[in-house]
């Protein structure tokens, strides 16, 4: 095996930042540890001769130093491994959730709880909640009326007259659910029509 050293001339294989590095770091607001972390390191490794020849051939074809080729390959490999790891973790999490759901469904089928029949027997359809009877007239269930100025056109719920935007109308207030009721002044209960 050959020994491949990947070191650029501009890289210094020092483990600690020099005094100049510490001064530069303090001038930019970095700590000495930050300056130390951003410094590039030299990594020595043993590679087979065939791999060394291929790396040199590739570096020559790209017209870049061998160290740059090695660095690019390592960065791409680390990025790819990181993506694969994240994807695998996501898939494992998804499978875990599915298995937990299936396990719970199987438990519910096999184990009757609190006197209920197992889930394999068809359950009775839940009864719909009783609905309020539909009002016979538009004013059934209306407690009172609130005057308002229409911002959009409407129609009177009693006489079906068109009520234009800007006209005074009256909104029916209900104690419970029911259709919206808007009346013109002439259809208000207990009022004589104005002439």
Nearest to 187 by CA among 175, 169, 174, 164: 169
Measured distance CA(65)–CA(168) in Å, rounded:
85
> What pLDDT digit, counting tens, does each position of 105-157 carry?
888 888 765 555 555 555 555 565 555 555 578 888 888 999 999 999 999 99
The position carrying tokens 């100025």 is 149
Res 19: pLDDT: 47
Q: What does the block give as tokens for 3?
A: 């020994």
Nearest to 25 by CA among 13, 37, 14, 15: 37
pLDDT in tens, the chain (195 residues): 555 554 444 444 444 444 445 555 555 566 666 666 667 788 888 989 999 999 999 999 999 999 999 999 999 999 999 999 988 988 888 888 889 988 888 888 887 655 555 555 555 555 655 555 555 788 888 889 999 999 999 999 999 999 999 999 999 998 888 888 999 999 888 776 555
Q: How far is CA 91 from the centre of its chain?
A: 17
Contact 34, 25 (CB under 8 A): yes
Res 15: pLDDT: 41
Give 39's contacts (C-beta < 8 A, 6+ positions apart): 14, 17, 21
Query: Is this structure's pTM higher than 0.85?
Result: no
Contact 166, 150 (CB under 8 A): yes
């Amino acid at each position: 095996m050959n020994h491949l050293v990947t070191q650029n001339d501009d890289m210094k294989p020092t483990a600690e930042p020099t005094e100049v590095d510490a001064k530069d770091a303090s001038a930019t607001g970095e700590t000495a540890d930050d300056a130390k972390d951003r410094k590039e390191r030299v990594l020595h490794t043993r590679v087979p001769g065939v791999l060394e020849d291929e790396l040199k051939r590739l570096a020559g074809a790209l017209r870049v130093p061998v160290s740059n080729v090695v660095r690019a390959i390592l960065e791409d490999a680390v990025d790819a491994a990181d993506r694969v790891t994240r994807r695998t973790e996501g898939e494992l999490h998804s499978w875990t959730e599915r298995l937990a759901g299936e396990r719970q469904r199987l438990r519910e089928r096999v184990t009757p709880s609190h006197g209920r029949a197992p889930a394999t027997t068809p359950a009775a359809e839940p009864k719909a909640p009783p609905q309020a009877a539909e009002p016979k007239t538009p004013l059934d269930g209306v407690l009172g009326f609130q005057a308002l100025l229409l911002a959009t056109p409407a129609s009177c719920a009693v006489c079906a007259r068109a009520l234009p935007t800007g006209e005074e109308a009256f909104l029916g207030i209900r104690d419970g659910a029911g259709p919206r009721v808007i009346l013109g002044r002439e259809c208000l209960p207990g009022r004589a029509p104005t002439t």
